[in-house]
Amino acid sequence: MKKGLGCLLVIAAIIVVAALWGVGKYNSLVKMEEPVKQAWSNVENDYQRRADLIPNLVETVKGYAQHESETFKEVTEARTKATQIHIDADNLTEEEIKKYQEAQGEVGAALSRLIAVSEAYPELKANENFKELQVQLEGTENRIKESRKTYNAVAEEYNSSIRLFPTNIIANLCGFSAKSYFAAEAGAEKAPKVDFGTK
């Protein structure tokens, strides 16, 4: 009788220790996932900041280059498409991030064409509002780059933790999945020139 009771106590103790370990690992995974979500939010905020600058930039350029309507249309359409793509921080899959990144890349390309238009209009390049918008846009592009870098770093730390044994057991049981990264964009091996000719 005592032997059976002792065995039951040992089994109960093992179950309690395993449960406490599981709860601890679960909580640590939640704590590691939150910075990933925060970093993703920062990425979205910085891209939104860029999107918010575009209408003012387009309007300023329109005042000097009214016959560039195709360029204005491209910028506006790219912005609209990009702002319609929202990714839930719990669903940061490779496909979703690629779709988001492609839409943002279209905005960047359209903005480059818009800025190139300014080269033909010296009065536009001298406009103070245009210069200020260019400075804000350049700063926003730098913020986007840093936000993406931060996101990739915290996603890497989180992804590593959910793959390590024995934490991967809890991660799989509780639905913690890997977060995808931002990949280098096509042509990223060449540093983009963000010279607006304001020097």
User: 55: pLDDT confidence band, cut at 50, 70 and 90?
Assistant: very high
Give per-residue pLDDT as tens, 57-115. 999 888 888 778 888 899 999 999 999 998 998 889 999 999 999 999 999 999 999 88
User: 185: pLDDT confidence band, cut at 50, 70 and 90?
Assistant: low
- Whether residue 196 is predicted with pLDDT greater than 60 in this model: the reply is no
Q: What is the mean pLDDT of residues 161-184?
A: 91
Is residue 85 within 8 A of residue 96, CB to CB? The reply is no
- Whether residue 190 is predicted with pLDDT greater than 70 in this model: the reply is no
Predicted local distance difference test score (pLDDT) of residue 154: 96
Rounded alpha-carbon distances, angstroms, from residue 186 to 19, 182, 183, 189: 47, 12, 9, 8
Predicted local distance difference test score (pLDDT) of residue 192: 45
**What are the domain boundaries of the chain?**
34-174
Give per-residue pLDDT as tens, 128-170. 888 899 999 999 999 999 999 999 999 999 999 999 999 999 9
- Whether residue 191 is predicted with pLDDT greater than 70 in this model: the reply is no
Predicted local distance difference test score (pLDDT) of residue 106: 94
Residues 18, 20, 22, 25, CA torsion sign = negative
User: 186: pLDDT confidence band, cut at 50, 70 and 90?
Assistant: low
Closest CA to 196 of 105, 133, 145: 133
Segment among 22-31, 51-60, 81-90, 189-198 with least mean pLDDT:
189-198
Predicted local distance difference test score (pLDDT) of residue 162: 94
